[in-house]
Structure 1
Amino acid sequence: MTETIHIVGGGMAGSEAAWQAAEMGVDVVIHEMRPKVATFAHKTGNLGEMVCSNSFRSDDSEQNAVGLLHWEMRAANGLIMSAADAHRLPAGGALAVDRDPFAETVTARLRAHPRISVCSEEITALPDSGTWILATGPLTSAGLGAAIQAETGREALAFFDAIAPIVYFDSIDMSKAWMQSRYDKGETEEERTAYLNCPMTKDQYEAFIDALLAADKTEFHEGETAGYFDGCLPIEVMAERGRETLRHGPMKPVGLTNPHQPDIKAHAVVQLRRDNALGTLFNIVGFQTKMKYGAQADVLRMIPGLQNARFARLGGIHRNTFLNSPRLLDDRMRLKSRPNIRFAGQITGVEGYVESAAMGLLAGRMAAAECLGQDIAPPPPTTATGALITHITGGADARTFQPMNVNFGLFPPVDGLRGGRRGRKDRYKAYTDRAKADWQGWLRHSALDAA
């Protein structure tokens, strides 16, 4: 009788791992502590709930590494990408999703699968036997986190992650704001007007920065020395690096024309992106923050167009635990000291919804193959998924390991197209062409091994 796989955590990684393993013919139990045990960021007990941005970032599979990762997961019959495509929202060249229907679809499909069962319970200890995948993500419970730390010692690292606010659309003043994607990017009118823009003059921007820097902020407890992930910095931390930092980041004004004042170039622009299919909710792009709630609302209402804003969710910050994976995990994602346990998702040191789900895809397939008496080798590092697992299980320097999004810097160079900005478009196309061919070859091989 084939052994059952136990998966702890029903987020992006755990959901994808369960789906992949079950589709390979292995029984799976998902152990999800919600809704019995709540977290700071989650609002429901749904599997695959999105707690930060609702964007999967670029969907361009020829020029962008995360878009390539989307392509690979679709080719592997990925549940997360299938649900995302079913609940896609206009976002220019990005893949944004309607978060609640997305999670409801993930939950329904997993619960309906004949080989998957869901158990609402908190796991607080590392199991000594059986086949397990720990995919508890950035909000690993205190009990399980302590058990992981006891096993790994000082090699379990942590950083702080932040989430952005969400605004009710009907509270936005459209006499000041307007709809436009940067550089009018998109193939349809809906895509070309996917973002809501709030312009600032220089004086308004300077006053906003002053208020941002002076606002009350969440303080860390004594002994909490973790840093931030650079891809999700709070806006006030960016502002502390220089008053112009936000103008060259999430508030850059380029590629936008204000129809209310077409002859006046904005000094800075705050962008909001639709957060649900109804268009009733918009999240403030790049505005992760650790400001306390009262101060946060006051500062955000300084943005033209948001002076009467009502917030469906204010931003916040939480501790995010991850492993020193290059030192602790083998190339099959198993904990070296306890090979019956695999890790998947953000806890392995990848950053982002899609990257987390991709590590779940691999962990689920590898665990299922093992239960079936087979072995699946990691995908080649020339693929987006393979580049990620290669990085976290040995490609990165364990002494300086930090969370990483997928990017072409993780890929082996393509012969004849090394370095230099000139020819970058051709180089990225060469990366993606090679990756797609190699990924399809890996899928054929891994399917044969698991048959």
Structure 2
Amino acid sequence: MTDIHIIGGGLAGSEAAWQLAEAGHTVRLSEMRGGGDMTAAHESDALAEMVCSNSFRSDDATSNAVGLLHQEMRRLGSLIIREADKVRVPAGSALAVDRTLFAQGVTAAITGHPNITIVRERIDALPDSGPTIIATGPLTAMALAEDIRSSTGSDQLAFFDAIAPIIHVDSIDMDICWKASRWDKGSPEGDGRDYINCPMDREQYAAFVKGLRDGEKTEFKQWEKDTPYFDGCMPIEVMAERGVETLRFGPMKPVGLDNPRTGRWPYAVVQLRQDNALGTLWNMVGFQTKLKHAGQVELFRTIPGLANAQFARLGGLHRNTFIRSPILLDHEFRLKARPHIRFAGQITGCEGYVESAAVGLLSGLYAAAELEGRTIAPPPADTALGALLSHITGGADAETYQPMNVNFGLFPPLPDDVKKKQRKAGYTDRARLSFGEWMAAQGVTETALASLTVDSGAGDA
């Protein structure tokens, strides 16, 4: 018999399990991968496998909301951020990782913890009793998703998430491409050249956009047709349909990237970001797609420098599910109708790997406190964790609730006299002070991870 049951071994479930186990509680962690089941996007049975990108986005804690979230998680001893820091790869000021090594690190930590028992099994219904955390993520199995929908009395919500292709670096023509970070702002580990840039002129860009619009796409099933996309992971061909110039102001923007062969910015650019520690695999930044595989190969090889590209993985499309958290959950992520059950991760309607792990961390802390007969005050709304918590559990309009990355728009406004150029620093300075006071009031000890932050530019991704 264990103290708590966690269903789902992704980033959120792994983080929640770690927090509970470190607090001295025994955990049963159920993960269906490895027990005969697999999702449409995962490739292995490793815990915390990343499937959409290898980036945790900006690690700048002085002017970026997600970088601030990294810092707060480090201060609380996050397993996910600890393992990410160990296997980071150059990506400007972004925290990008070798995905294989990252998943191996998390899996080893969870497997090796004496308070955690991993069971490879699929759970098809919400448990009737006993402390439980549901962290099944955006790819929740249909049987459990249907039971959640039936139990909550709320319609299941869903959106599509598309995966970007990955290319073998030795198949990229570096006589055409060049390495650089936007505005030469590289990562501390790198040399200011963390991205491979593929330049396009006006005619090449126009032909590429036409190819995106005309390419054969993945067919929708009848029940999928009215499901919206999340803007943060919008398929590139959907962006192209919004206007011929849309991509030049999105993932293909050329600003800050001088082509060393011309001394000028190209008309448009495709950026590739290192995907593994060896530097042998690079992903196409922002190129999530639902084009059919043959069409992807044909079109992407028209990009200058990628004529002979060899793809380690092509893009894909999968369905994400989330619940209407603002009306279903209380401020500790408990299901109001069945308070022995908590939710964590992307199924709550947060978006992004970092946000998913952050909600898992908070859910784990809340569950540990409850098992010990005490309570934890919510992090202040002017912190990154508090802003995310507030959005999920009541700050958003339940009727129009959609997945959301952490951003300063979720934070309480600053005083009117703070100048525009000082606002990002104002948000982060206020948050650090407020978070420190909250930790002290809850008796939470600062961890050694807290000093591991990057205080440079916002990066390309």
TM-score, normalised on structure 2? 0.94
- Does structure 2 conserve the Cα–Cα contact (< 8 Å) formed by 1:3 and 1:131? no
Structure 2 unaligned blocks of 5 or more = 446-461
Relative contact order: is structure 1 or structure 2 higher (C-alpha 8 Å, sep ≥ 6)? 2
Could you tell me how far 1:187 is from its partner in structure 2? 5.9
Name 2:243's counterpart in structure 1: 242
Identity among equivalent pairs (%): 60
| Paired amino acid for 2:238 | V
Q: Distance in 1 between matches of 2:364 and 2:189?
A: 40
Return the letter of the residue paired with 1:238: M
Equivalences for residues 371-450 of structure 1 within 5 A:
371-417=371-417, 423-447=419-443
CA distance in 1, matches of 2:40, 2:195: 28
Provide, for residues 133-156 of structure 1, a one-character-per-residue CA deviation record: whole Å limited to 9, x for no partner: 001111111111111111123432
Q: Which SS does the other structure have where 2:56 is aligned?
A: strand
Deviation at 1:441, TM superposition (A): 2.4
- Deviations along 1:6-50, one digit per CA (max 9) or x if unpaired, are 111111111110111111111111101112211111111111110
1:435/1:44 CA distance change after superposition, 3 Å: same
Q: Which shifted more, 428-437 or 102-111? A: 428-437
The CA RMSD over aligned residues, in Å, is 1.5
Aligned to 1:45: 45
Amino acid aligned to 1:432: T
Measured in 2, the distance between the counterparts of 1:303 and 1:5 equals: 51
Q: Distance between the aligned counterparts of 1:176 and 1:448, measured in 2?
A: 53
Tell me the distance in 2 between the aligned counterparts of 1:215 and 1:131. Answer: 49
Structure 1 match to 2:450? none
1:18 aligns with 2:14: no
SS at match of 1:321: strand
Runs of at least 4 residues off by over 4 Å: none
For residue 222 of structure 2, give the secondary structure of its aligned residue in structure 1.
Answer: coil
| Aligned AA (1:424) | K
Q: Where do 1:302-313 residues align within 5 Å?
A: 302-313=302-313
Shift of 1:186: 2.3
State the match for 1:257 in structure 2.
258
- Deviation of 1:435 (Å): 1.1
Kindly state the Cα deviation for residue 400 of structure 1 after the two structures are TM-superposed: 0.7
C-alpha separation in 1, matches of 2:263 and 2:343: 54
Whole-Å Cα distance in 1 between the matches of residues 383 and 264 of structure 2? 45
Given residue 289 of structure 1, which amino acid in structure 2 is its aligned partner? T
AA aligned to 1:28 is V
Query: 1 CA distance for matches of 2:176 and 2:4?
Result: 54
Offset, 1:3: 6.0
The alignment partner of 1:312 has SS state of: strand
Q: Which amino acid aligns with 2:242?
A: R
Q: CA deviation at 1:189?
A: 7.8
Residue 278 (structure 2) pairs with residue 278 (structure 1)? yes
Q: Deviations over 1:291-341 (max 9, x none)?
A: 011111111111111111111111111110001100110111001111111
Matched, 1:91 2:91: yes
Task: Give 3-state SS (helix, strand or coil) of 2:380's partner.
Answer: coil
The alignment of Structure 1 onto Structure 2 pairs a total of residues equal to 443
Match of 2:266 in 1: 266
The match for 1:160 is 160
C-alpha offsets along residues 178-202 of structure 1, whole Å, 9 cap, x if unaligned?
Answer: 1100110026582411000000111
State the 1:366 CA deviation.
Answer: 0.4
Aligned 8 A contact 2:187 2:194 in 1 = no
TM superposition shift of 1:438: 1.8
Structure 1 CA distance for aligned equivalents of residues 212 and 136 of structure 2: 33
CA contact (8 A) 2:154 2:324 kept: no
The verdict on how the C-alpha distance between 1:218 and 1:33 changes in structure 2, with shifts beyond 3 A counting, is same
Instruction: Output the amino acid matched with 1:436.
Output: R
TM-score (norm 1): 0.96
Structure 1 residues 319, 189: CA separation in 2 closer, same or farther (over 3 Å shift)? closer
1:5, 1:368 within 8 Å by CA — same for their partners in 2? no
- 1:229 maps to 230
Match of 1:144 in 2: 144
Q: Which moved more, 1:394-403 or 1:143-152?
A: 143-152
8 Å contact kept, 1:13–1:357: yes
Q: Is the 8 A contact 1:211 1:299 kept in 2?
A: yes
8 Å contact kept, 2:91–2:187: no
Distance in 1 separating the partners of 2:189 and 2:61: 22
Cα distance in 2 between the residues matched to 1:91 and 1:220: 34
CA contact (8 A) 1:181 1:191 kept: no
Q: 1:321, 1:329 → 2: CA distance?
A: 16
Q: Deviations over 1:368-425 (max 9, x none)?
A: 111111111221101100101111101101111111000111111223446xxxx334
